[in-house]
Amino acid sequence: MTVASPVFPALTHDHDGCVRAALDAAEQRCGRRGARLTTLRRRVLELVWNSHEPVGAYALLDALKAEGQASAPPTVYRALEFLLEQGLVHRLERLNAFVGCARPEEAHAAQFLICTTCGRVAELDDPAIDAALQVGAERLGFTVTHQTVEVEGCCPDCQRALLS
């Protein structure tokens, strides 16, 4: 069995269980908030969670069409907007793509580690990074309203593969 760092899931992890847990958490969160997780929204979320790689809106649209669902770009974008509002997905700005939120029940300013070798993304929630950004912004008289920190590099699994 491959052991990955705490933020990158092992390549051999139970991905079906991972997706089920994310969908269950989404159902619970939406239920508590009185938000409607429609069949389409749930399916879009499931497609986002299909891998730990970022996925673009048009790739989601293609996947829905391949399943025989007649969807248009605005439909997918509305579903993604709902998922963002509910804290169920994150948008990676540079890649213009989406990843599932690992902890939707917690308010957090996540940072993202993007492996440029395999494409997987890990969500890192380091309060020290968030605090440093807040302090630096305040020192300059700037008020942060939204932040996305994206760091590119090589994940532990790809580093091991390169050394083999």
Q: How confident is the model at residue 107 (pLDDT cuts 50, 70, 90)?
A: confident
User: What's the mean pLDDT when you consider all of the chain?
Assistant: 87
Neighbours of 90 (CB within 10 A): 23
pLDDT at residue number 80? 97
Domain boundary assignment for the chain: 15-163
Rg over alpha carbons for the chain, rounded to the nearest Å, is 17
pLDDT at residue number 19? 87
Q: How confident is the model at residue 99 (pLDDT cuts 50, 70, 90)?
A: very high
15-163: CATH architecture: Orthogonal Bundle (1.10)
pLDDT tens digits, 40-98: 999 999 999 987 789 999 999 999 999 988 778 899 999 999 999 999 999 999 899 99
- Could you tell me how far CA 32 lies from the centroid of its own chain? 21
pLDDT at residue number 52? 74
pTM of the model: 0.83
Helices 15-33/39-48 angle, 10° precision: 140
Mean pLDDT (whole number) for 140-150:
91
